[in-house]
Chains A and B, each alone.
Chain A
Amino acid sequence: MTDALRAEWTKLRTIAGTWWLMVGAVAVTVAASAGIAASTHVSPGGPGGASQDPTKLALIGVDLGQAVVAVLAVLAVTEEYGAGMIRVTLAAIPRRRVMLGAKAVNIAGLALITAVPAVAGSLIAGRLLLPEAGLGPAHGYALVSIAHGPTLRAAFGSVLYLGLIALLSLGIGAVLRDSAVSTGIVLGLLYLPPLLAQLVSGPWRRHIQQIAPMTAGLAIQATRNIRSLPISPWAGLGVLAAWAAGMLLVGLAVLKARDA
């Protein structure tokens, strides 16, 4: 297993694209968080004015940054199929489970390493910019701070969220083997259900938000009105974990059943 881990690590770290995607994920996350925080204006006393969630707003860049993390994870497996490298890999590590496990550990690790500065940067941007948007102490909101229990949970949870998104994407990549199709499916799976939830009414909206990986997983970012969420924060992250585990298992099954 250690050899497999080291082999996968060597492959990942020596591809220039890996580092660019990690830097890109951090940049996109922080830039999106800062951009939205800077362009938000909450009118005091407006409808629902007191129900805003500064922490969730500060972490909004994760919505976008996860796409880059997902691509990073998809490429870790589909690029091997594209280049034929997979046959060498499997010759060296014939046990599919060990090979996929090693990839999963490495990719999850890289995703977590990427997530820490991305989430930290987003929170700092929120702390600096949100007071000007009408979400600061002057309007009855506390500054975004990880000393605040729910905010710490949201920050820690967002890091885990990005790790799980990477595992989910890795699983889909292992099933589909083609980078284009896998990327399309992963992005569709992440971004389409929230749109669908906006368009349907009644209990279906809630069900979609409870089941879809992005909406369920991002419940971890909520720090206010938690009772009105479609799914509680940790349960939501659990749903995403189930997605990731399920996709990895399907990926493993496909890997075992099919020739490379």
Chain B
Amino acid sequence: MSALVQPSRGGDFRAALRAEWTKFRTVRGWMIGLVFAALMVVLFTFLQANGKHTGYCTTPNPDSCVAGHQYVPTGPSGEAVADTYELVAKRLTGNSTITARITSLVGRIWAGPANEAPSLADTQPGLTSWAKAGLLITPSTKQGSSYAAVMATGGHGVRFQYDYTHDQAGLPGLASRTAPRWLRITRTGDTITGYDSIDGTNWHRVGSADLGGLPRTVYVGLFTTSPTTSEGLATQATASFDHIAIGPLADDSGQAAPGRWHGASIGAGPQDYYTTLGNGGYRQARDSIVVTGSGDIAPAVASAGGDTASDSLLFGLAVALIVLIVIGTMFITSEYRRGLIRTTFAATPDRGRVLAAKAVVIGGVAFAVGAVASAAAIPLGEHVMNANGNYIFPADSLTVARVIVGSGALVALTAVAVLGIGTILRRSAGAILAGVVVFVLPTFTGPGIIGPTSSGSAAAWLYRVTPAAGFSMLGLLPRSGLVSYPYTMANGYYPLPPWAGLLVLGAYAAVALFAALVVLRWRDA
């Protein structure tokens, strides 16, 4: 009797799904192909990672080049940071405060040839927008330490920043003799608060930070630093501080703290990755201090050098894409070739349901292949690159998980799109040709085929509007509004954010699948 009961639509779909899955898994060649695709991802990731050996030169003279990598500090939350600056500080115990007035902030920019080490010998005046001078509290002078600071900047007004990534804006405008900036920073327990003022009387709170686990004794002082311009030119900044008041909080803050000022060039030296313009220093007059510094206190961007966990995945994924394009095509065209499609439609007359079941099956296996392969390949590649002495840009586990999911989704959406193309064309060769040309070639057309003539923007457009956009999911390098840096393809940044890139690829797959559905409903099998 149960045979007479109309099964639910959900039950129908499950049956279609089971039928398609059975068809898929019983073709031995396809299963071998899937394993082959996954192995190729791992193998080529290994080969590529194994071929990477970094070295660096401390001067343009090739004799100064050594293997290994320069030191990139790691910030409090595990991110790569720049931490190179000039500090003039005292060690203070307990709750404390410092106040100072900045009467000038000026700078110099390297003007010599690009292939020479920057030095002060050939510079021109100029102040980069993220040149920073102000007051800073840190538990340690070690690079990558936690800190909080209130500062005047070259082009972004007064800022309160802490732990490299956090930023709050204060008074706008550049500090000068006619428009000096008063700054104050206080430490109460673990809480650090920054203030600014134009006259030293009326104070305005810019921001505050809770630096957990701050020791009782910390460095409190003045700092100056000046990052490279967006063209990559080294710079240096000089700031004049006066009306300096430093001491324990709750006492009268005009009373000077005991002890002398200590100058420290944080991170200077050939081991540090950051390109600086000359050595910093400070000069103390009767009631003022002039601090000169070069470097940055900010998140590190690609200029820190190094590889990312996903850098070596690209080629293996391209191989996997081609294999899945072939299998995705055959999943539908072989049914037409053998006439099996008529049996399929006799069993499941709703053609949309058949197509959906096929898409779920091929998408699911393709996702599994891409995700499993990259989950295995990423740690392997990192291990090999580490063993070769390469620097690997740190990425948190959530970001690595996104790359793994992204690898799976990239392969899955491509396979589903090609299933659609195969359904429309019914012919293997044409569908595979279209699949490879549309979904694989744009990925490496820029540098690979067009060659050096391809302008950076042409390659970037390929990664915006073609299915190559899906590779944005592999992007791991951080972007930061606190760094003036060209976030271009040439520097290793995909033009689209990861999920937006995947959406572009998803749109291609959706269009192909929808067109396939329309064609499938109109046409006889």
Contacts and interface: CB of A to CB of B under 8 A. Distances in A.
A32 to B, nearest CB: 10
A199 B315 contact: yes
B444 A195 contact: yes
Contacts of B29: 181
B52 A198 contact: no
Interface residues on A, range: 35 or more
Interface in B406-430: 427-430
B147 to A, nearest CB: 38
A151 interface: no
A62 to B, nearest CB: 11
A39 interface: yes
Interface string B34-50: 00000000001001100
Interface string A51-70: 01000010010011001100
Contacts of B455: 40-41
Contact of A194 (B312, B436, B449): B449
Interface in A201-217: 201-202, 204
A180 B326 contact: yes
A137 to B, nearest CB: 18
A184 B326 contact: yes
A41 B454 CA distance: 8
A63 B432 contact: no
Contacts of B68: none
B106 interface: no
Contacts of B429: 71, 74-75, 78, 179-180, 182-183
B169 interface: no
Contact of A196 (B315, B325, B447, B452): B315
Interface stretch (B157-165, B185-193, B329-337, B496-504): B329-337
Contacts of B440: 191
A204 B315 CA distance: 15
Interface in B426-480: 427-430, 432-433, 436-437, 440-441, 443-444, 447-450, 452-455, 458
B51 interface: yes
Given A67-B436, A194-B444, A200 B51 contact: yes
Contacts, number: 94
Interface in A82-100: 82
A235 B448 CA distance: 22
B175 interface: no
A195 B318 contact: yes
Given A67-B437, A187-B432, A196-B315, A42 B453 contact: yes
Given A183-B433, A187-B432, A199 B314 contact: yes
Contact of B450 (A48, A60, A75): A60
Interface string B305-331: 000000010110011001101100110
B326 A204 contact: no
Contacts of B452: 48
Contacts of B330: 180-181
Nearest to A201: B51
A204 B47 CA distance: 11
A240 B229 CA distance: 48
B471 to A, nearest CB: 12
Contacts of A63: 449
B48 A200 contact: yes
24 contacts: A40-B455, A40-B458, A48-B452, A52-B453, A57-B453, A60-B450, A74-B429, A179-B428, A180-B330, A180-B333, A180-B428, A181-B326, A182-B429, A183-B326, A187-B436, A192-B318, A192-B319, A192-B322, A194-B444, A194-B449, A199-B48, A199-B314, A200-B47, A204-B51
Interface of A: 36, 39-42, 48, 52, 57, 60, 63-64, 67-68, 71, 74-75, 78, 82, 178-184, 187-188, 191-192, 194-196, 198-202, 204
Given A183-B326, A192-B319, 10 more contacts: A40-B458, A71-B429, A82-B337, A180-B329, A180-B429, A184-B326, A184-B432, A187-B322, A198-B448, A200-B47
Interface of B: 29, 44, 47-48, 51-52, 312, 314-315, 318-319, 322-323, 325-326, 329-330, 333-334, 337, 427-430, 432-433, 436-437, 440-441, 443-444, 447-450, 452-455, 458
Listed from nearest, the 8 A-B pairs whose CB atoms lie closest are A184-B326, A180-B428, A183-B432, A195-B444, A179-B428, A187-B436, A180-B330, A183-B429
